[in-house]
């Protein structure tokens, strides 16, 4: 890809927006009030806004390798805090994707340097769901299921944060676990029952 092409594309996009509304960027500059926080993978094929069909101002986005929410990761914790407590989003989405290189790498024994501690969290997901995963014979299906369970566990990590627990009590914020299937382009809602998950984890993680 030619880097200069990007600046040409950008100018075309600016012109397109201004043709529809000459005040488009003035309005955009006046502030944001997105309804949704989206946490997804950095994978170049999982283009958050494009696959959801949303525009500037609609969604607060955080992406990292394998869509992880770690309580010692300052970046994801700051994003959750800002989106939930300051912007007051009403939905938090964790979106994983099939064919995730991060999830695959986590299950292989190669030394990945700085990625080792990051991806070790996925091994913890495997350990938590070892029985279910070990019962799956087909490697491809097992790997897909791990992608789904990783989304579920990252949603649980979202629910463990004080910001989300407060927002749940105050305005009933909802958490959603999704998977993007690169091979079909479809977005799949895992329909995780978070009221149940929340009750189970509140027993241990609740804050007063
Ligand atoms: Co990925």
CATH number, residue 44: 3.40.1050.10
- For residue 161, what is the DSSP state? S
Give a yes or no: residue 81 inside a domain: yes
Note whether residue 18 is domain-resident: no
Instruction: Calculate how far, in angstroms, residue 102's C-alpha sits from the geometric centre of ligand 1.
Output: 5
pLDDT in tens for each of the 208 residues of the chain?
899 999 999 999 999 999 999 999 999 999 999 999 999 999 999 999 999 999 999 999 999 999 999 999 999 999 999 999 999 999 999 999 999 999 999 888 888 899 999 999 999 999 999 999 999 999 999 999 999 999 999 999 999 999 999 999 999 999 999 999 999 999 999 998 877 777 777 777 666 6
Ligand 1 centroid – CA 5 distance (Å): 26
Query: Has residue 6 been placed in a domain?
Result: no
Name the nearest CA neighbour of 103 among 64, 71, 135.
64
Q: Is 45 a known active-site residue? A: yes
> Is the distance from CB of 49 to CB of 61 less than 8 angstroms?
yes
pLDDT number for residue 208: 62
Domain that holds residue 169: 32-99+152-205
Check if the beta carbon of residue 65 is closer than 8 Å to that of residue 154.
no
User: pTM of the predicted model, to two decimals?
Assistant: 0.94
Question: Rounded to the nearest 5 degrees, what angle is found at the Cα of 59, between the Cα atoms of 67 and 74?
Answer: 45
């Amino acid at each position: 890809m030619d880097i200069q092409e990007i600046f040409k594309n950008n100018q075309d996009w600016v012109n397109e927006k201004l043709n529809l509304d000459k005040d488009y960027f003035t309005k955009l500059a006046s502030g944001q009030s997105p309804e949704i926080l989206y946490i997804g993978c950095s994978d170049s094929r999982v283009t958050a806004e494009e696959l959801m069909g949303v525009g500037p101002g609609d969604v607060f986005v955080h992406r990292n390798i394998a869509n992880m929410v770690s309580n010692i990761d300052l970046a994801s914790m700051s994003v959750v805090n800002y989106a939930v407590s300051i912007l007051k989003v009403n939905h938090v989405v964790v979106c994983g994707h099939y064919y995730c290189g991060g999830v695959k790498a986590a299950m292989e024994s190669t030394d990945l340097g700085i990625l080792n501690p990051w991806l070790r969290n996925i091994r913890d997901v495997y350990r938590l769901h070892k029985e279910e995963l070990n019962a799956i014979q087909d490697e491809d299906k097992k790997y897909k299921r791990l992608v789904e369970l990783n989304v579920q566990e990252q949603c649980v990590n979202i629910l463990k944060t004080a910001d989300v627990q407060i927002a749940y009590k105050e305005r009933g914020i909802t958490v959603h676990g999704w998977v993007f299937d690169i091979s079909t382009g479809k977005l799949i809602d895992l329909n995780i029952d978070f009221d149940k998950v929340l009750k189970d984890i509140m027993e241990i993680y609740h804050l007063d």
